[in-house]
């Protein structure tokens, strides 16, 4: 190592995790050896070493140039709908502020036109004030009014919102319901800015494999040389009607096992077999050899310690080999080959060892042509023990079949389609034999391409194209990808919540449709429209028009649409509007054969459509990253295809079913919380500053403040900040269980309902009316400035302001209390604590002559205020009057036009009440009633949520009787 | 490099009530069932309180007299016209006669009221130096800049007390005379001029500067009185406890009013024969008319009032309580009707289901 002299040349830092190009020039005894460096030789920051004691490495990128750091930076800023409406409200308030300032300034000058108001004998100006320019005075007055009223703009709102989002997002990570025990993963929040957006979704785009499915592949079927086999209990069985007799159906297996005397294989039971049909055997042999050689699966050495298992490692059988693979399909295939008898044992140095029915064969691994999503295939070039050089290729049927020149292409294609109809994932396997001349050329070109520093990818692609041709088809495999738990229920719930679900997948049309049907995305009752295999613009347009006609003509409630990638790009290029119209009317859309960027493009199109719906994208793989980043909210599934999606997402969860809790419970709560928070902040600042404005009418617009400067500062910081923050963290206006079990409640808050201009106006008007009540209540209380004290002494202007302020702090805090539906001890503490704090602070602040303050305006003001009986009565009166109107509105709303959320609240409340009722009973009676009521509750639940509960009711009654008999 | 082995379930979130958002909570619901009784109770309570407050306020007597002298309505108009356009006007006296048919129950408070006088004007309100008024010698010599243009006198001496508020100190004075037997001589009713300012203002906030050689006059040496004053601040009263910055009239005036029409306490009547109130008979109030208000359209009033625990005569609270209380009950009834009607409808809905 010490003597190693080498130079590494590499590209400039870039964010793409899976792209790296460089070369290493090693100088050894005056000779330069050039070695290519690719992404496989690059360890990303945070990578961990496994199965290897030590390695030597060179740091290539450091600090902010590492790929990880570049990726963090490149994340685009997402802003939620709430934030946008917040900014709109802010502009409205800015207008209010400026117009108030302008009105005040103008009125000041009309008022001051007369000298007896401007400069009475008791209030003379200084020479300087008299001589200052009129325009300057006008501007300075305007600015002074701006300063006086600027508290109407809730600056602290932004701080509080940030705090709420940051702290609130912890609840998602903490949620046990979002914790997946098997993989020990809890939900992750990467962007807390979007919490409330989870409650606003209208479109949900989901990837299929790994997201809807487990991404846990199981080998199911294969087609070899035009014959279809099925794996049943670990045996391959010929399937379907074949021209040959039933006996012959097992030929292959027999022929395979005739060499095998060990009990190692499951197929070993078929030991006796005629030694014939050797040709067939070679084909089949080759197929499985191809399967077990053409991959990048690794063998685990550490099979004995067995603890630190990666999530997708499994043991074939005790004391058997364990495979690791970056792609679960490959693992399933290699395992299947092993079950059949061709066991991949491992690769040491440059050889791959395969045990064919117990007999060890070594293949020299010459080249790996890695998988990429453009080619959609991978291949390996190996040197067989016999010395011949063979290429094995494996890939999607669309990428292999066109390249094939031999083999049972027609039959295999039929079989592949059949597999796809069952929702299986298919791969085709082919091979090619090279002559040594051919191979030498390939070798040379490959090396050139791999060491090229410029345009390496293009060059590689060219070489791959050159190598992977003239293939002979061996067969096809079919692997099942099991649906995840509760996908059907989740999708159904999403639909009930008014969210349109789009499945975007790279799979074949047939596979995609069958999976869609099985996961409940498509219903049997749905009218399924298809837009596939469109080759030209005109054709596509015609088809689109036909579809839109069908939508209006067919009397079916729900439509589903199937589009494939090519047709989609056609439709989007020319007929975007027509296509979007159709899509918006479909309750389920399935896009198959989608390239990653196409996924993102679809989302962008929906996003910018006239209604500007809020979108969410769920995906698990690197190919979903672009769509996750494009959507308003990106959710990553922490699955088997690496963590790239999870890293680039805003939220990462372990399972698709967790979406229902994430959206219906967390999303709903966050939305309610933040919407009320925003409205309340605007409200409380209107309340705060409007009395100042009104006071100007009584003090000749002289910019006299109504409140002391300390109160002005502390109002938003101390006196009214905590209750709303606590509310925005803890509020649960309805039981989370009901939210989750009744997804339709989600519709109540859709379209940013709580931040609509109507609601905003209500809060603003409420704020203004409360301000009027505070101010004029205090004004009329003073009346002709009669004494309010029992000793006949008089109050002054600061007492007046403090009275208004006191009423305001109490009212605003109690208003928050009215909004709160969920009173934990923390809420009680901060709500009542805030009011108490205000009183204690004021007593303290007014009780001392503060040496560092210039004016002692507030000295003993508060204590004098509280020593007046009338003031107490006035405070109670004003607070009650303010809230009275609001309560009346709330009650009328609840009874006249209840939202479904409110109905659900009522319902849950009655249940809770009846439980309390039980608690009050003596124990002996309570036990009886408890059982009765718990049964009754069940009935209520069922009758409330499902239309047909009659039979259940009867059953319950029966149950009830039985219970009594037992007693 | 070591391969750290994490225990199974290492990332499992804590199962506590807080992290799972399951804190025990009271979940009230603003439904008609709860608010209805609340409304009726609150309504009744408010009406009860309102009646109490209304009668309590009604029991308070007030007697007021406008002595601005606008239209020759009273003998003060002589003074008013005389003082027209001149500030300060010359000493001028006038009187207000009134008779009481029955006892004006005590304790009786004497107020003066000014209207259209903007003590809450910002320029006026800040024109004072609290440090100076607290007896700080340095502030006595160097009044705060806010006091300008009443910071330094024309001769450059610091003004004590500085500022517009002090300068515009109300300087009318009143004395009350009672003609006990009809046609008999007028006897002066003693006016108690103490305890008209807040206790804390008089005892803590306002302090005279430390005496120099036992003399307050020397303490104020080197200062000028406000331009409108005829005498220096240390001669406001002969009583050493009521002169200088702690003169009660001055302290009362320095507590600026909230609104342009305001009252200030002048004296209490609670001594001698008048502790129970003003007995019936004829009275005369002698007014020294000094304070000019007509230049800004103001009015001067003199008011006799008695006081209950809730202060002066204030019908607003009682009426407001009555109004809010009846609104509560009215809306309660409306709500009851709505509640009953929609209750039936809800039941029907449920039956339909």
pLDDT confidence bin for A758, thresholds 50/70/90: very high
pLDDT of residue A373: 64
Q: Do A122 and B124 touch (CB under 8 A)?
A: yes
pLDDT digits (tens, 9 = 90+) for A43-102: 877 677 766 778 888 888 887 787 766 655 445 677 888 888 999 999 999 999 999 999
Cβ of residue B196 closer than 8 Å to a chain A Cβ: yes
- Residue A947, exposed/middle/buried by CB under 10 A (0-12, 13-18, 19+)? exposed
Q: Find residues 49-108 of chain B whose CB sits inside 8 Å of chain A.
A: 49, 53, 87, 107
Q: Do A895 and B32 touch (CB under 8 A)?
A: yes
For an interface test with A, the pick among B3, B108, B310 (most A C-beta atoms closer than 10 Å) comes out as: B310
Nearest CA in chain B to A803: B258
pLDDT of residue B207: 92
Residues of A in contact with B111 (CB under 8 A): 787
- State the nearest Cα–Cα gap between A796 and chain B, in angstroms: 4
pLDDT of residue A951: 42
Considering CB atoms only, which of A307, A822, A888 is closest to B5? Answer: A307
Helices (H), A183-322: 251-257, 278-293
pLDDT of residue A213: 83
Instruction: Output b/e per residue, A244-267; b: 16+ Cβ within 10 A.
Output: eeeeebbbbbbbbbbebeeebbbb
pLDDT of residue A485: 85
Residue A350 CB neighbour total at 10 angstroms: 11
Joined tokens for residue A566: 């090519």
Residue A348 CB neighbour total at 10 angstroms: 10
- The rounded percent of chain A whose pLDDT value lies above 90 is 28
Cβ of residue B337 closer than 8 Å to a chain A Cβ: no
Residue A650, annotated ligand binder? no
Residue B229 CB neighbour total at 10 angstroms: 18
Measured in degrees and rounded to the nearest 5, phi and psi for residue B94 equal -145, 175
* Range in A21-30, A620-629, A940-949, B16-25 with the lowest mean pLDDT: A940-949
Joined tokens for residue A768: 């203004």
Q: Do A895 and B339 touch (CB under 8 A)?
A: yes
Residue A548 CB neighbour total at 10 angstroms: 16
Q: How far apart are CA A441 and CA A424, in angstroms?
A: 38
Cβ of residue B35 closer than 8 Å to a chain A Cβ: yes
pLDDT of residue B87: 53
Contact B282, B179 (CB under 8 A): yes
Does position A795 have pLDDT exceeding 50, yes or no?
yes
Q: How far separated are the first and last CA of chain B, in Å rounded?
A: 66
Instruction: Provide the ipTM.
Output: 0.95
Cβ of residue B44 closer than 8 Å to a chain A Cβ: no
Supply the mean pLDDT for chain B.
87
Contact B235, B243 (CB under 8 A): yes
Joined tokens for residue B225: 């009185």
pLDDT of residue B8: 57
pLDDT of residue A78: 79
Residue A329, annotated ligand binder? no
Cβ of residue B140 closer than 8 Å to a chain A Cβ: no
Q: Do B313 and A308 touch (CB under 8 A)?
A: no
pLDDT of residue A918: 41
Does position A780 have pLDDT exceeding 90, yes or no?
yes
- Comparison of pLDDT for A788 and B181, the residue scoring more: A788
Return the number of CB contacts < 8 Å for A and B: 283
Cβ of residue B204 closer than 8 Å to a chain A Cβ: yes
- The rounded percent of chain A whose pLDDT value lies above 70 is 85
* Range in A277-291, A350-364, A417-431, A740-754 with the lowest mean pLDDT: A277-291
**What residue ranges in A409-490 does DSSP mark as E strands?**
424-434, 471-483
Residue A330, annotated ligand binder? yes
Residues of B in contact with A905 (CB under 8 A): 29
Mean pLDDT confidence for A400-414: 86
Residue A508, annotated ligand binder? no
Supply the mean pLDDT for chain A.
81
Cβ of residue B23 closer than 8 Å to a chain A Cβ: yes
pLDDT of residue B2: 37
Residues of A in contact with B119 (CB under 8 A): 797
Joined tokens for residue B232: 């220096």
pLDDT digits (tens, 9 = 90+) for A321-350: 778 776 777 888 888 888 888 888 877 667
Q: Do B118 and A699 touch (CB under 8 A)?
A: yes
Does position A315 have pLDDT exceeding 90, yes or no?
no
Q: How far apart are CA B347 and CA A594, in angstroms?
A: 52
Residue A425, annotated ligand binder? yes
Nearest CA in chain B to A871: B310
The one catalytic residue in A141, A175, A207, A481 is: A207
pLDDT digits (tens, 9 = 90+) for A701-741: 999 999 999 999 999 999 999 999 999 999 999 989 999 88
Mean pLDDT confidence for A402-427: 84
CA B336-B341-B347 angle, 5° bins: 120
Q: Do B11 and A796 touch (CB under 8 A)?
A: no
Does position A442 have pLDDT exceeding 50, yes or no?
yes
pLDDT digits (tens, 9 = 90+) for B93-129: 888 899 999 999 878 999 999 999 999 999 999 999 9
Q: Is the peptide bond before B161 cis (omega within 30 degrees of 0)?
A: yes
- Comparison of pLDDT for A840 and A915, the residue scoring more: A840
For residue A306, CA distances in Å to A111, A343, B7 come to 88, 21, 13
Does position B40 have pLDDT exceeding 80, yes or no?
yes
Is A207 an annotated catalytic residue? yes
pLDDT confidence bin for B44, thresholds 50/70/90: very high
Does position A241 have pLDDT exceeding 60, yes or no?
no
- State the nearest Cα–Cα gap between B151 and chain A, in angstroms: 10
pLDDT of residue B72: 63
Residues of B in contact with A54 (CB under 8 A): 1
pLDDT of residue B314: 87
For an interface test with B, the pick among A54, A787, A818, A863 (most B C-beta atoms closer than 10 Å) comes out as: A787
Joined tokens for residue B241: 């406890």
The half-sphere exposure of A815 on its side-chain side, counting CA atoms within 13 A, is: 26
Q: Do A790 and B6 touch (CB under 8 A)?
A: no
Contact A208, A507 (CB under 8 A): yes
Q: Do A702 and B24 touch (CB under 8 A)?
A: no
pLDDT confidence bin for A433, thresholds 50/70/90: confident
Contact A224, A287 (CB under 8 A): yes
pLDDT confidence bin for A260, thresholds 50/70/90: very low
Does position A163 have pLDDT exceeding 90, yes or no?
yes
Does position B167 have pLDDT exceeding 90, yes or no?
yes
Q: How far apart are CA A870 and CA A711, in angstroms?
A: 23
Mean pLDDT confidence for A429-445: 88
Q: What is the Cα A230 distance to its own chain's centre? A: 38
Considering CB atoms only, which of B12, B256, B309 is closest to A796? Answer: B256
pLDDT of residue A101: 95
Q: Which of A86-100, A290-304, A474-488, A943-957 has the highest mean pLDDT?
A: A86-100
Nearest CA in chain B to A789: B311
Mean pLDDT confidence for A816-823: 93
Which helix (H) or strand (E) segment holds residue B188: the answer is strand B186-189
Residues of A in contact with B12 (CB under 8 A): 176, 179, 181, 184, 186
Q: How far apart are CA A419 and CA A429, in angstroms?
A: 15
pLDDT confidence bin for B344, thresholds 50/70/90: low
Q: Do A823 and B124 touch (CB under 8 A)?
A: no
């Amino acid at each position: 190592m010490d003597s190693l002299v080498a130079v590494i040349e590499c590209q400039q830092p870039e964010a793409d995790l899976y792209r790296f190009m460089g070369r290493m020039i090693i100088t050894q005894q005056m000779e330069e050896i050039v070695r290519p460096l690719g992404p496989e030789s690059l360890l990303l920051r945070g990578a961990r070493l496994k199965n290897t004691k030590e390695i030597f490495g060179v740091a290539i990128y450091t600090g902010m140039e590492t790929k990880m750091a570049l990726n963090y930076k490149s994340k685009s800023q997402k802003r939620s709908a709430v934030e946008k409406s917040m900014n709109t409200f802010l502009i409205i308030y800015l207008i209010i502020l400026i117009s108030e300032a302008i009105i005040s300034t103008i009125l000041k000058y009309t008022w001051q036109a007369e000298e007896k108001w401007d400069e009475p004998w008791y209030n003379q100006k200084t020479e300087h004030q008299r001589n200052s320019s009129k325009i300057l005075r006008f501007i300075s007055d305007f600015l002074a009014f701006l300063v006086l009223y600027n508290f109407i703009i809730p600056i602290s709102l932004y701080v509080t919102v940030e705090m709420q989002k940051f702290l609130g997002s912890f609840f998602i990570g903490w949620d046990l319901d979002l914790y997946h025990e098997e993989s020990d993963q809890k939900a992750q929040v990467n962007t807390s800015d979007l919490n409330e957006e989870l409650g606003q979704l209208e479109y949900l785009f989901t990837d299929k494999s790994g997201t809807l499915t487990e991404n846990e592949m199981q080998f199911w079927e294969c087609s070899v040389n035009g014959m279809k086999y099925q794996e049943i209990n670990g045996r391959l069985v010929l399937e379907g009607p074949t021209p040959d007799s039933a006996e012959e159906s097992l030929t292959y297996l027999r022929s395979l096992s005739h060499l095998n005397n060990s009990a190692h294989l499951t197929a070993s039971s078929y030991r006796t077999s005629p030694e014939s049909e050797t040709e067939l055997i070679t084909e089949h042999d080759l197929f499985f050899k191809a399967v077990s050689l053409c991959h990048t699966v690794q063998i685990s050495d550490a099979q004995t310690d067995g603890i630190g298992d990666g999530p997708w490692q499994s043991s074939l059988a005790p004391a058997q080999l364990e495979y690791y693979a970056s792609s679960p399909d490959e693992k399933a295939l290699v395992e299947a080959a092993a079950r059949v008898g061709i066991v991949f044992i491992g690769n040491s140095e440059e050889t791959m060892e395969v045990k064919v029915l117990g007999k060890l064969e070594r293949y020299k691994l010459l080249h790996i042509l890695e998988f990429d999503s453009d080619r959609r295939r991978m291949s390996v070039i190996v040197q067989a023990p016999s010395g011949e050089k063979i290429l094995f290729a494996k890939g999607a049927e669309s990428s292999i079949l066109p390249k094939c020149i031999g083999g049972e292409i027609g039959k295999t294609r039929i079989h592949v389609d059949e597999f796809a109809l069952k929702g299986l994932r298919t791969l085709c396997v082919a091979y090619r034999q090279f002559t040594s001349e051919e191979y030498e050329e390939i070798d040379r070109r490959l090396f050139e391409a791999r060491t090229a520093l410029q345009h390496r990818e293009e060059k590689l692609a060219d070489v791959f194209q050159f190598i992977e041709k003239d293939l002979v088809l061996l067969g096809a495999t079919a692997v099942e990808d099991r649906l995840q738990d509760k996908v059907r229920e989740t999708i159904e719930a999403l639909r009930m919540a008014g969210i349109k679900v789009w499945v975007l997948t790279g799979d074949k049309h047939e596979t995609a449709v069958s999976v869609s049907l099985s996961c409940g995305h498509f219903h049997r009752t749905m009218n399924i429209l298809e837009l596939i295999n469109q080759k030209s613009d005109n054709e596509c347009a015609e088809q689109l028009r036909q579809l839109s006609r069908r939508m209006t003509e067919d009397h079916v409630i729900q439509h589903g649409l199937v589009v494939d990638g090519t047709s989609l790009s056609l439709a989007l290029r020319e007929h975007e509007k027509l296509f979007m119209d159709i899509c918006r009317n479909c309750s389920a859309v399935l896009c198959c054969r989608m390239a990653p960027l196409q996924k993102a493009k679809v989302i962008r199109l929906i996003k910018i459509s006239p209604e500007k719906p809020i979108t969410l994208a769920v995906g698990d793989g690197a190919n979903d990253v672009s769509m996750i980043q494009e959507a308003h909210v990106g959710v990553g599934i922490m699955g088997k295809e690496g963590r790239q999606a999870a890293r680039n997402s805003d939220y990462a969860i372990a399972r698709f079913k967790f979406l229902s809790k994430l959206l219906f419970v967390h999303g709903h709560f966050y939305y309610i919380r933040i919407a009320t928070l925003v409205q309340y902040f605007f409200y409380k600042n209107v309340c705060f500053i409007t009395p100042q404005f009104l006071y100007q009418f009584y003090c000749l617009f002289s910019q006299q403040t109504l409140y002391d400067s300390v109160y002005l500062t502390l109002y938003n910081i101390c006196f009214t900040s905590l209750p709303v923050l606590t509310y925005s963290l803890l509020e649960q206006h309805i039981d989370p269980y009901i939210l989750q079990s009744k997804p339709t409640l989600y519709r109540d808050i859709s379209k940013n309902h709580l931040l609509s201009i109507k609601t905003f106006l209500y809060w603003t008007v409420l704020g203004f009316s409360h301000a009027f009540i505070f101010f004029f209540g205090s004004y009329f209380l003073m009346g002709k400035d009669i004494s309010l004290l029992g000793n006949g002494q008089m109050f002054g202007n600061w007492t007046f302001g403090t009275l208004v302020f006191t009423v305001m702090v109490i009212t605003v805090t109690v208003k928050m209390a009215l909004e709160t539906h969920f009173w934990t001890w923390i809420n009680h503490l901060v709500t009542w604590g805030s009011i108490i704090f205000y009183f204690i602070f004021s007593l303290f602040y007014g009780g001392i002559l503060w040496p560092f303050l210039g004016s002692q305006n507030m000295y003993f003001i508060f204590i004098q205020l509280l020593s007046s009986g009338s003031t107490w009565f006035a405070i109670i009166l004003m607070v009650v009057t303010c809230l009275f109107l609001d309560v009346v509105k709330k009650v009328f709303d609840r009874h006249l036009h209840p939202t479904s959320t409110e109905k659900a609240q009522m319902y849950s409340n009655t249940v809770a009440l009846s439980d309390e009722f039980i608690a009050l009973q003596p124990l002996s009676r309570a036990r009886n009633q408890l059982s009765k009521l718990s049964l009754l509750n069940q009935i209520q639940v069922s009758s409330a949520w499902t239309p047909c509960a009659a039979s259940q009711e009867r059953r319950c009654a029966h149950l009830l009787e039985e219970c009594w008999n037992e007693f | 490099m070591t391969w750290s082995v994490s225990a199974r379930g290492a990332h499992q979130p804590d199962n506590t009530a807080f992290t799972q958002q399951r804190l025990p909570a009271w979940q009230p619901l603003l439904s008609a069932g709860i608010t209805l009784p609340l409304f009726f109770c609150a309504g009744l309570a408010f009406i009860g309180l309102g009646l109490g407050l209304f009668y309590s306020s009604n029991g308070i007597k007030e007697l007021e007299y406008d002595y601005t002298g606008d239209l020759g309505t009273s003998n003060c108009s002589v003074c008013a016209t005389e003082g027209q356009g001149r500030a300060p006007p010359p000493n001028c006296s006038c009187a207000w006669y009134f008779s009481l048919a029955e006892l004006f129950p005590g304790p009786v408070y004497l107020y003066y009221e000014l209207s259209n006088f903007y003590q809450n004007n910002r320029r006026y309100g800040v024109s004072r130096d609290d440090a100076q008024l607290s007896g700080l010698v340095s502030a006595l010599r160097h009044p705060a800049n806010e006091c300008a243009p009443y910071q330094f006198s024309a001769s450059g001496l610091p003004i004590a007390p500085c500022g517009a508020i002090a300068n515009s100190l109300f300087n009318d004075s009143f004395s009350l005379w009672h003609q006990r037997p009809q046609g008999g001589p007028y006897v002066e009713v003693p006016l108690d001029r103490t305890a008209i300012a807040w206790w804390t203002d008089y005892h803590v906030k306002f302090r005279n500067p430390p005496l120099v050689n036992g003399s307050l006059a020397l303490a104020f040496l080197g200062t000028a009185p406000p331009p409108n004053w005829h005498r220096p601040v240390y001669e406001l009263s002969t009583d050493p406890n009521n002169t200088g910055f702690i003169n009660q009239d001055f302290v009362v005036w320095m507590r600026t009013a909230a609104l342009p029409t305001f009252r200030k306490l002048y004296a209490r009547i609670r001594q001698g024969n008048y502790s129970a109130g003003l007995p019936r008979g004829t009275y005369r109030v002698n007014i020294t008319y000094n304070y000019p208000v007509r230049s800004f359209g103001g009015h001067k009033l003199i008011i006799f009032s008695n006081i209950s625990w809730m202060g002066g005569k204030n019908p607003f609270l009682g009426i407001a309580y009555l109004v809010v209380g009846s609104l509560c009950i009215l809306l309660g009834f409306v709500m009851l009707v709505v509640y009953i009607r929609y209750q039936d409808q809800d039941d029907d809905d449920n039956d339909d289901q």
